[in-house]
Amino acid sequence: MAEASVFEQAQVAVEYLRPQLPEPLQKPRIAIICGSGLGGLANTIDAKTKCEFDYGSIPNFPTSSAALLSDALVLQYDMYLVPGHLGKLVFGFMGSDIPAVLMVGRAHFYEGHSMQKITLPVRMFKLLGVETVVVTNACGGLNPDYAVGDVVVLNDHLFLAGVSGAHPLRGPNAEEFGVRFPPLSDAYDLELRRTAHRAWKKVVPAESKRRIHEGVYAFCSGPSFETRAECRMMRMLGADTVGMSTVPEIIVARHCGMRVLALSLVTNNCVLSPAPRGDDRLLQNSTAKELNTIVDEGKANHEEVLETGREAASDMQKLVSQAVVDMFAC
């Protein structure tokens, strides 16, 4: 039996969800993919209107391995996921009257899912009637001007996996969603980026050390962090940040004709300096401990990434909440 098309898979999921939603939420206007520090946005939804669905209960919905974590481990991942909202699709009103759907937790390509599978929720959003998608993530900073804790509004990307053939639009084109060869030169909506900058000025004090930038995001499939040489290569190619999500979702959103705002939180600075040489005469008398200290300098550490996300969570949540309200103020 032939596998159902991505359109058919998304349609089945929507047909499962829609009858269980009150009429005002059957057609949300905005979808938010909650990455680092934004799981708490689920708590900003009007409690009286909130409707939640476990990913595992939704037909064809990709489930992240993070959704299988024990309660103890969930606490370590709370920059991504809020206990009680682990691996859930949350519907409700943001602001006073904006129908929204939030993905709290996402499946990643590095977990073994196909590109088509991890982007299926975006196609579901299109069928639900979503007009705008906000995508967020944690990233490594390649641009030396970026500090840990800064926020980056994405204005372009390098899709290294896509260039090598791992692309969410590979295969028969889903004509129900978009054209065979969608342009991406306008992928990152200029008006929405302007809205994000204005929202930042409203919610983050001018004296704050945390800054907002615009930049280019490089997608790597992961799950290993990038080597020094890879970081230098991506920086020379024009990338300001690097991460393991977001770009496939953005490509599918644009294929579907939805507007996109993408925000990254810099959680670590990538190591751009070359590795020390084993024949460096200055290191010949160094102890093993001293050598390890030199090599480990700047190395990505998952626990530090998590902690940075916790510290920046408040500003990120305020930014997204204000930006959403401002988008629909007119």
Residue 127 lies in a domain: yes
pTM of the model: 0.88
Encode pLDDT of 76-131 as tens digits. 334 333 343 468 999 999 988 999 999 998 889 999 999 999 999 999 999 999 99
Tell me the DSSP string of 152-210.
Answer: EEEEEEEEHHHHTT--TT-SS--TTT--SS---TT-S-HHHHHHHHHHHHHHS-TT-S-
Query: Which one from 268, 313, 321, 323 is the annotated catalytic residue?
Result: 268
**Bigger pLDDT: 46 vs 52:** 52
Residue 66 lies in a domain: yes
Encode pLDDT of 181-212 as tens digits. 999 999 999 999 999 999 999 999 888 889 99
Q: What is the DSSP letter of 263?
A: E
Q: Residue 17 corresponds to which tokens in the numbers above?
A: 């969800």
Query: Which one from 42, 66, 94, 108 is the annotated catalytic residue?
Result: 108
Query: Which one from 64, 79, 85, 262 is the annotated catalytic residue?
Result: 85
Q: What is the mean pLDDT of the chain?
A: 85
pLDDT of residue 301: 58
Answer yes or no: 255 catalytic.
no
Residue 151 lies in a domain: yes
Domain count, the chain: 1
Of 96-100, 134-138, 231-235, 300-304, which gets the smallest average pLDDT?
300-304
Encode pLDDT of 318-327 as tens digits. 999 999 999 9
Answer yes or no: 245 catalytic.
yes
Closest CA to 252 of 78, 156, 118: 118
Residue 264 lies in a domain: yes
Answer yes or no: 244 catalytic.
yes
Rounded CA gap, 267 and 280, in Å?
A: 32
pLDDT of residue 280: 62
Q: What is the CATH number of the domain that holds 68?
A: 3.40.50.1580
Residue 27 lies in a domain: yes
pLDDT of residue 271: 83
pLDDT of residue 35: 81
pLDDT of residue 290: 60
Query: Which one from 143, 245, 264, 321 is the annotated catalytic residue?
Result: 245
Element at 218 (helix H, strand E)? strand 212-219
pLDDT of 284 > 50? The answer is yes
Could you list the residue range(s) of the whole structural domain that residue 170 is in? 6-327
**Bigger pLDDT: 138 vs 183:** 183
Closest CA to 104 of 116, 94, 91: 91
Residue 95 lies in a domain: yes
pLDDT of residue 42: 83
Residue 1 lies in a domain: no
Rounded CA gap, 22 and 210, in Å?
A: 39
Residue 137 lies in a domain: yes
Answer yes or no: 85 catalytic.
yes
Q: What is the DSSP letter of 19?
A: G
pLDDT of 59 > 50? The answer is yes
